[in-house]
Amino acid sequence: MNRKIKKYFNGLKRKKYTEIDPDEIFLDSSNLPEFDTHQFEGRIEKSISKTSLFFLGFFFLIIGFVYVSKVWVLQIKKGDEYALMSEKNRLRSTLVFAERGIIYDRNKKELAWNVPGEDVNFSVRKYIDKPGFAHVLGYVKYPSKDIYGFYYRPDFEGFDGIEKFYNDILKGTHGSKIVEVNALGKVQSENVISPTKEGTSITLSIDSDVQSKFYEKIKEVAHDLDFVGGAGVIMDIESGELIASVSYPEYNSQVLTDGSDRSLINSYVNSKSRIFLNRVSSGTYTPGSVVKTVMAMGVLNEGVIDPSTKILSTGSISLPNPYDPTKFSTFKDWKAHGWVDLRTAISVSSNVYFYEVGGGYKEQKGIGIANIEKYAKLFGLGEKTGIDLPGEVSKPIPSPAWKAVNFPNDPWRVGDTYNTVIGQYGFQVTPIQMARAVTAIANYGKVFQPSLLLGDSFSTAKIVRTLDIPKKYFDIVHEGMRQTVVSGSAPGLRLDKVAVAAKTGTAQVGVGKQFINSWVIGFFPYDKPKYAFALLMEEGDLAGGSASVRVMRQMLDWMSVYTPQYTRE
């Protein structure tokens, strides 16, 4: 018994008793639901386990290791590289745009120039606010940059006209500078490391007053007589330089350069009037009777007829059909002219005369299609002139070889020769080709490469070839062209203040031959030629055959008053 009591008290000594908190006394199953367990009410706190502390410490150890590793990479392994990058961020290379060359007319009037840009760091292009210059000057597109400010197209790009043809000369060379900035991006200093080279300015041979007035006159007559377009050229016969080169209708160079008026630009694109076509050098047209001047030079030089010999024009000639001798093919004149010699044939534009001296008829020998092609090419038809405008085109002169390609199952016939010698059939030329041809007639055989620059060192007008044809033959054609004005088909050019020599032409065009092209070519002053001209009025009513003469009369009347230096001898 004593042993049991002793054992009991010994057990009490071994047990440790702790003090009980009051909230633990009353914590039981009946009051537990009353606690907010989300706020840990009614829960007995437990100490964090050693496992949790281990993983938490390991986590911070990993973070520290990554941080130290990154510092080692930044400071030691790639320290030099990042130092260089930091320097580049501090020193920025900036593009310095070169000024584009200015374009002047022959009298040093600005046609295209530069003004400071408001929202860009380069100068913007401005153009003369007069009509008639779009196809000569063209337009530009500005440098382009992406959303980060990087210029992926740093250069001005010329489109059309002089801006495109001489773009490499006009644009110059951009420079660059180093700009030092602080951490806030504020500029501390600037240093030019590559200077700009300004674009070369260009002086055109164009007279801006003549150019603008020529355009206005073509536009007025086109509206009055319902022509869809027109083109005119005035050329110095001793240099090949152009005083005027006009194509109607035209776009607005400023609108296309600025690019802001989208509705107007879309109207250009969708227009049926071929606004973007430079009709002077890129439009080809049936010339009609204006080529008779060139054919007359061939006829004289080949000696197929004495210039005083007369041929009877009754209004047409007829050839027997090679497949049925009882039938005839008839080739009409525009009227019966009676007996005509070469000078008169030019002045009244007799088709029958040129049918016979071109393709032959009965006893009259003709020069034949080979010589027709030869002389056309000698005077620059059927080949590009080399004018300093982009997009020049040329069409071949009709010939048996040409027909074999275009009409393989149809042989060449005499009738084809007849139609070719009067500028019909497949004959097509540009106004600049006709201007060059009549210039060669006016200056006695010098065929120029036309130029829009005024005696410029990097593109001087040059003689392509000099024709070996006696001067007396040129004089005969000159006389015939003067007679055209005095008593022939161009009485509208009989002016008091300037003597003009000319040749008119009308060519029927369209599917049903319901329209005409109205042409006039010539030179002035007659006794001492200085300037030649070629004018086309495109696709008008059949009653508008004199439209081209009407334009040139108004133009020459104006020039004799306001620019007499061109019309006086």
C-alpha span between 195 and 98 (Å, rounded): 9
Per-residue pLDDT at 194: 77
Per-residue pLDDT at 520: 98
**Which of 195, 196, 177, 197 has the alpha carbon at shortest distance from 187?**
177
Per-residue pLDDT at 3: 58
Max distance between CA atoms of the chain, in angstroms, equals 177
Measured in residues, the chain has a length of: 569
- Residue 450 · residue 239 · CB < 8 Å: no
Tell me how far CA of residue 554 lies from CA of 126, 223, 433, 525, 527, in angstroms. Answer: 30, 15, 23, 16, 21
**Which of 488, 550, 468 has the alpha carbon at shortest distance from 225?**
550
Enumerate the β-bridge partners of residue 533. Answer: 234, 522
Instruction: Assign residue 380 a region (left: φ > 0; alpha: ψ between -120 and 50; beta: otherwise).
Output: left
Class level of CATH domain 93-203:
alpha beta
On whether the 208-562 domain is CATH 3.40.710.10, my answer is yes
Per-residue pLDDT at 193: 67
- Residue 467 · residue 294 · CB < 8 Å: no
Per-residue pLDDT at 381: 97
pTM of the model: 0.82
Encoded tokens for 300: 């004289």
DSSP state, residue 98: P
Q: What angle do CA 100, 105, 106 make, to 5 degrees?
A: 130
3-state secondary structure of 150: coil
Q: What angle do CA 79, 83, 84 make, to 5 degrees?
A: 120
C-alpha span between 113 and 125 (Å, rounded): 6
C-alpha span between 197 and 400 (Å, rounded): 54
Cis bond upstream, residue 525 (ω within 30): yes
Q: What is the pLDDT along the chain (569 residues), one digit of tens a residue?
A: 555 555 555 555 555 555 655 555 555 555 555 555 555 555 555 666 777 767 777 777 888 777 777 766 666 766 666 555 555 555 566 778 899 999 999 999 999 999 998 878 889 999 999 999 999 999 999 988 887 777 888 888 999 999 999 999 999 888 877 766 565 556 556 666 678 899 999 999 999 999 999 999 999 999 999 999 999 999 999 999 999 999 999 999 999 999 989 999 999 999 999 999 999 999 999 999 999 999 999 999 999 999 999 999 999 999 887 777 778 889 999 899 999 999 999 999 999 999 999 999 999 999 999 999 999 999 999 999 999 999 999 999 999 999 999 999 899 999 999 999 999 988 999 999 999 999 999 999 999 999 999 986 666 668 999 999 999 999 999 999 999 999 999 999 999 999 999 999 998 887 778 889 999 999 999 999 999 999 999 999 888 889 999 999 999 999 999 999 999 98
* Residues 6 or more apart whose Cβ sits within 8 Å of residue 30: none
Cis bond upstream, residue 249 (ω within 30): yes
Nearest-10 crossing angle of helices 414-421, 368-378: 30
- Residue 161 · residue 251 · CB < 8 Å: no
C-alpha span between 205 and 531 (Å, rounded): 13
* Residues 6 or more apart whose Cβ sits within 8 Å of residue 476: 296, 300, 307, 342, 343
Q: Pairing relation of β-strands 311-313 and 338-340?
A: antiparallel
DSSP state, residue 568: -
- Amino acid identity at 509: V
DSSP state, residue 364: B
Listing DSSP states for 185-211 in one string gives: --EEEEEEEE--BPPPPEEBS--HHHH
- Residue 478 · residue 347 · CB < 8 Å: no
Enumerate the β-bridge partners of residue 311. Answer: 340
Tell me how far CA of residue 530 lies from CA of 36, 120, 439, 565, 566, in angstroms. Answer: 112, 47, 9, 10, 8
C-alpha span between 89 and 24 (Å, rounded): 67
DSSP H helices, 282-341, are 292-302
- Residue 148 · residue 370 · CB < 8 Å: no
- Residue 181 · residue 187 · CB < 8 Å: yes
Tell me how far CA of residue 392 lies from CA of 154, 281, 386, in angstroms. Answer: 28, 5, 8
* Residues 6 or more apart whose Cβ sits within 8 Å of residue 439: 235, 237, 240, 446, 447, 448, 523, 532
| Residue 152 CB coordination number (10 Å) | 9
Per-residue pLDDT at 75: 67
For the chain, the domains span: 59-89, 93-203, 208-562
- Residue 234 · residue 251 · CB < 8 Å: no
* Residues 6 or more apart whose Cβ sits within 8 Å of residue 405: none
Span between the terminal Cα atoms of the chain, in Å: 164
Per-residue pLDDT at 86: 54
C-alpha span between 417 and 434 (Å, rounded): 20
